[in-house]
Amino acid sequence: MKTGDARRRFEKVAAGDRQLAIIWCDGHESRYPSIWLLQACSCPACGSTESAVRHVRLTQQPARPKIRKMEISGQVLTLDWGEGHRSTFEAAWLRAHCLSVAERRQRKVKPQIWGREVQDRIPAMDYAEVAADPDRHLAFLETLRDLGFFLLRQVPKERERTEEVAALVGSLRLTNYGIFELEAKPSPEIVGDMALALALHTDEPYRIEPPAITLFHVLEQSAEGGESTLADGFRLAGILRQEDPEAFATLCSLPARFHRTLQEGRAFEMQAPIISLDSDGEVTGLRLLDRGMAPVDAPPDQVEAFYDALRSLLALVYDGEGQITVKLQAGEMLVFNNQRILHGRTAFDPAQGRRHVRSCHVDLDEFHSRLRTAYRSRGREEAWMTLSAGVRV
């Protein structure tokens, strides 16, 4: 029996008053409280929580339901709650939802932290290959999930093809910028339309939900300069946590203040920590745009601590810690997680050739949906993996 098969096959099942215990063929033991199983029931009488067509409320169910009987047919378990109510669960689904500490930890996707060592092995594939082959498409999505960035080559250069290519990740999220045309302009309103160098940053942290997956579609590239710079924000946050834990804690707890005012009549402002953590204390996202930060809104006795902490993080950024450089060519698309990857650009000379990049975004939930549906179509447990929620308020 293969290891994967052993994970999803019952060895022994025992029902107690308030929980179900399963020993699997790989030796692992799972325990499921009866109220959890009852809430997971998707029989016709209960309805589905996935579709939100639910016919029973929690308050209508017993707080401590009892399993009256159970039956096993192959790798399908049926529980009888009495009064004609029966719930059916597949072994694979139960194992994929095991509540043990080890299994819950295993379901949680761990990012691959990187530094300068990826400079010579930047993940890349041709667009046509990713678009035509479902397995290559999944590999692209997985790499984007794990490393936070990817380079698509041989992308059509026509501007109307941007949305088509972006659909590999998910439906576009359009803001007031629409699909933004990044090119040097005579009277620019934002710094992206200038030819000067841009330090590493994340885009639009002044929004309640900043852009997530960002796509730079290069239609034309300057002959000199205009290289893209990238760094793993998770790595920088990890270094800060190790070298200056007090600064790390401050940036995780004390909200920074970001703002942006546009001539078109829009004024954005958001207060949120620069570094976001999940319930396990692991970094899930960053907001960092030092040239777009308003004065911090904090008690006077916390202001110096905030700027000292920010100074420590920015020192890593400005020193180029773990930074790589990519010269994107016309017909290439850089895809990256803006809530993890810091990006920038070297200066370029508009007189040495036109530089035109179209920028657009896809939300994290769209990206994660693509991953889950790809796994579901293959019957893989990763369909129920726990993915990073990105930046938080």
Q: Which residue has the tokens 């005579």?
A: 186
- Cβ-in-10-Å burial (0-12, 13-18, 19+) of 206 comes to buried
What letter does residue 381 receive in the DSSP assignment?
G
2-15 average pLDDT score: 88
Q: Confirm whether pTM is higher than 0.85.
A: yes
Split at pLDDT 50, 70, 90, the class of 355 is: confident
Block residue for tokens 């016309």: 330
Amino acid identity, position 102: A
- C-alpha distances out from residue 121 to 114, 179, 324, Å: 11, 29, 11
DSSP 81-130: EETTEEEEEEHHHHHHT--SHHHHHHHBPPP----GGGTTS--EEEHHHH
Q: Give tens-digit pLDDT for 367-384.
A: 999 999 999 999 999 999
- Count the neighbouring beta carbons within 10 Å of the beta carbon of residue 326: 17
What single-letter DSSP state applies at residue 137?
A: H
Calpha distance 232→236 (Å, rounded): 7
- d(CA 332, CA 209) in angstroms, rounded, equals 27
Residues 18-32: what's their mean pLDDT? 97
Residue 291 per-residue DSSP state:
G
Find the helix or strand (DSSP H, E) in which 269 lies: strand 266-272
User: Which pLDDT score is estimated for 107?
Assistant: 96
What is residue 56's DSSP assignment?
-
Exposure string for 241-274, b = 16+ CB within 10 A, e = fewer: beebeebbbbbbebbbbbebeeeeeeebebbbbb
Q: What is the pLDDT of residues 132-142, one digit of tens each?
A: 999 999 999 99
Residue 152 neighbours by CB distance under 10 Å: 23
Which 3 state secondary structure label does DSSP give 199?
strand
Summarize pLDDT for 312-353 with one digit per residue, the tens.
Answer: 999 999 999 999 999 999 999 999 999 999 999 998 877 676
Q: Which two tokens stand for residue 183?
A: 């090119």
* Site of tokens 């929004």: 207
124-160 pLDDT per residue, tens: 999 999 999 999 999 999 999 999 999 999 999 998 8
Question: Which residues are paired to 78 by β-bridges?
Answer: 71, 88
Query: What is the β-pairing status of strands 341-345 and 180-183?
Result: unpaired
The pLDDT of residue 191 is 53
Q: What is the 3-state secondary structure (H, E, C) of 299-322?
A: CHHHHHHHHHHHHHHHHHHHCCCC
pLDDT per position as a tens digit, 248-261: 999 999 999 999 99
Partnered with residue 361 across adjacent β-strands are 214
Q: What is the pLDDT of residue 392?
A: 85
In three-state secondary structure terms, 188 is coil
Share of the chain above pLDDT 70, in %: 95
DSSP-derived secondary structure letter, 296: P
**Contact in structure between 301 and 211 (CB atoms under 8 Å):** no
Q: Rounded mean pLDDT of the chain?
A: 94
Tens digit of each residue's pLDDT (9 = 90 or more) over 208-260: 999 999 999 999 988 788 899 999 999 999 999 999 999 999 999 999 999 99
Question: According to the model, what pLDDT value does residue 393 have?
Answer: 80
Q: By C-alpha distance, which of 146, 143, 150 is closest to 112?
A: 146
